[in-house]
Amino acid sequence: MHIFNGKEYPCCTSLVMGIIGGKWKTVIIYHLNCNTLRYNELRKKMPMVTERTLSLQLKTLEKDGIIKRKVYTSKPPLKVEYSLTEFGETLVPLIQSIIDWGNHVIEHYLD
């Protein structure tokens, strides 16, 4: 049994999927790789995600230590930027493998 952020996982695979699983988390990580983006910039890159879902996924990724949220309050309007943490950057090779496999499927298995 593995425990991460107070949640129990029966194996390392379920732990990974608990952190990055779902439809949008890997997409967010992909867009934040080597980029710091504001919320609206992420929304433009992910037009099919709802605002509520994006907001919830960002909060979850931040809670898990994958992304960091930086708020600038020095002058209005409020500015919020998201980027990968050092821990989040360790996921980049995994995300790249997912991208590579997806491209392989597109090239060889789609009609």
Encode pLDDT of 30-89 as tens digits.
Answer: 999 989 999 999 999 999 999 999 999 999 999 999 999 999 888 888 889 999 999 999
Are residues 46 and 24 in contact, defined by beta-carbon separation less than 8 angstroms? yes
- Whether residue 22 is contained in a domain is answered as no
* Inside any domain, residue 83: yes
Q: Is residue 36 part of a domain?
A: yes
- What CATH number should be reported for the domain holding residue 104? 1.10.10.10
What is the residue range of 44's domain?
28-109
The span from the CA of 69 to the CA of 59, in Å, is: 9
- Evaluate whether residue 6 is within a structural domain: no
In this predicted structure, the answer to whether residue 99 has a pLDDT above a threshold of 80 is yes
Half-sphere exposure of 11 (CA within 13 A, CB side): 2
Please give the structure tokens belonging to residue 18: 């608990």
User: What pLDDT score was predicted for residue 6?
Assistant: 87
pLDDT tens for each residue of 1-12: 899 988 899 999
pLDDT exceeds 90 at position 23: yes
Per-residue pLDDT at 96: 95
pLDDT of residue 67: 98
pLDDT at position 78: 84
Total number of domains constituting the chain: 1
Q: Judge whether 78 and 71 are in contact, CB under 8 Å.
A: yes
Gap between the Cα atoms of 83 and 107, Å rounded = 31
Choose between 105 and 78: higher pLDDT: 105
- Please report whether residue 32 resides in a domain: yes
